[in-house]
Structure 1
Amino acid sequence: MLELIIFIGLLMLGYVTGSALEKRHYKSILQREMALRKLPLIASKIVPEEFTPCKTSIVLGSVVISVDFFKHFVAALRNILGGRVSSYESLIDRGRREALLRMREQARNMGANFVFNIKMETSSISKGQRNAIGSIEVLAYGTAVILEQDKLSVNETRDALNLRPRTI
C-alpha cells in the first residue's frame, strides 16, 4: 500500500512540476517569438530577383527536449491501450518552435534580413531502449540572407515577398 501511495505521489509531483515547467517554457517561447517577429522565415529555395544578397550563411537551431515522468506514464498507457499520444504533441510543438527561435536568434546576431530555405529534422533519442525516458531532438536550418545596405527595409522586404506579419 505504501508503494502505491509513493507511486501516486511521484506521479502527481511529475504532473505539477512538468506542467509548471512547460508553461514557463511556452511563456519564454512567446516572448522571444514576439521579439524576433520582424525577421521573416521563408520556406522557398529561391531568393526573389528584387533582392541583392550581400552575404549568405547557413544558420541552425537545435534543441533536445525530454518528457516528464507524468507524460511518460500516460504514453506507456497509450502504448498498451492504443490511440493518439496527445501528451507528446506539446513536446514536439515546443521542440520545433524552440529550434526555429534558436535559428532566428543566430540569424539576427549576424545581421540577417531574412532566412530562406527553412528545413527541419526531428529525431527520437533512446528509441527502442528499454526503460529509457523519451527525448526528441529538433534541428532547424536555413540560409540567412544579408541584403546590400539601403536596398530594402523590413517592410519593403515583407511587401516584396507578399508576407503579412503573423500574430501569435
Structure 2
Amino acid sequence: MVALLITLALLVIGYLFGQHAEQSHFRRLRAAEAELQSLLLFSEKRIPEQFQPCEVRLVGGNTVIAVDYFKVMAAFLKNLFGGRLVAYESLVERARRESIIRMKREAKALGAQAVFNVRLETSSISKGANDQKVSVEVYAYGTAVIPSHERV
C-alpha cells in the first residue's frame, strides 16, 4: 500500500513539474516571438524587387524536444478511444515555434530584413519500447535577405 502511495505521489509531482516546465517554455516563446516580430518570414521562393539589391544567406534553427512520461501515458489512453493526441500536438508546436525563433535570431545576427523560402522539416529521432516515439525534431530554414549598402 505504501509503495502504491509513493508511486502515485511521484506521478502527481512529475505531472505538475512537467506542466510547469511546458507553460514556462510557452511564456519564453511568446516573449521571443514578440521581440523578433519585426523580422518578416515568407514561404515565397522569389525575392521581390523592394528587397534588392541584397545579399542572401542560408539560416536555420533546430530543436529537439523529448516526450515526457505523462504525455506518453495520455497518448496511450487516447489511442484506446481514438481522437486527437493533444499532448503530442503541444510538443510539436513548441518545437516548431522554438526552431523558427532560432532561425530568426540567426538571421537577425546577420542583419537580415526578412527570410524567404521558409521551410520546416520534422522527424522522430529516437524510438522507445514497442516502437514508441520519444522525441521530436523540427528544423526551420530559409534564405535570409540582407540589404546591400549600394542602391541601383
| Fold similarity call, TM over 0.5 | yes
Counterpart secondary structure, 2:5: helix
Between 122-131 and 74-83, the greater mean CA deviation after superposition: 122-131
Aligned to 2:6: 6
Task: Report the residue type matching 1:54 in the other structure.
Answer: C
Task: Report the residue type matching 1:9 in the other structure.
Answer: A
Aligned partners of 2:70, 2:128: CA distance in 1, in Å? 19
Aligned to 2:83: 83
Q: Please give the TM-score of this superposition, normalised by the length of structure 2.
A: 0.90
Aligned to 2:142: 142
Q: Please give the TM-score of this superposition, normalised by the length of structure 1.
A: 0.82
Aligned partners of 2:131, 2:5: CA distance in 1, in Å? 22
Structure 1 spans left out of the alignment, 5+ residues = 152-168
> Higher strand fraction: Structure 1 or Structure 2?
2
Aligned to 1:42: 42
Shift of 1:93: 0.8
Question: Aligned-residue CA RMSD in angstroms?
Answer: 1.9
Question: Does the Cα contact within 8 Å between 1:53 and 1:145 map onto a contact in 2?
Answer: no
Over the matched positions of the two proteins, sequence identity in percent amounts to 45
Aligned partners of 2:141, 2:84: CA distance in 1, in Å? 29
Q: Provide Cα deviations, 1:31-83, integer angstroms capped at 9, x if missing partner.
A: 11111111001111011123214310100000000122211111121233332
Task: Report the residue type matching 1:85 in the other structure.
Answer: L
Equivalences for 1:110-129 in 2 at 5 Å?
110-127=110-127, 129=129
Structure 1 stretches of 4+ moved >4 Å: none
Structure 2 spans left out of the alignment, 5+ residues = none
Aligned pair count reads 151
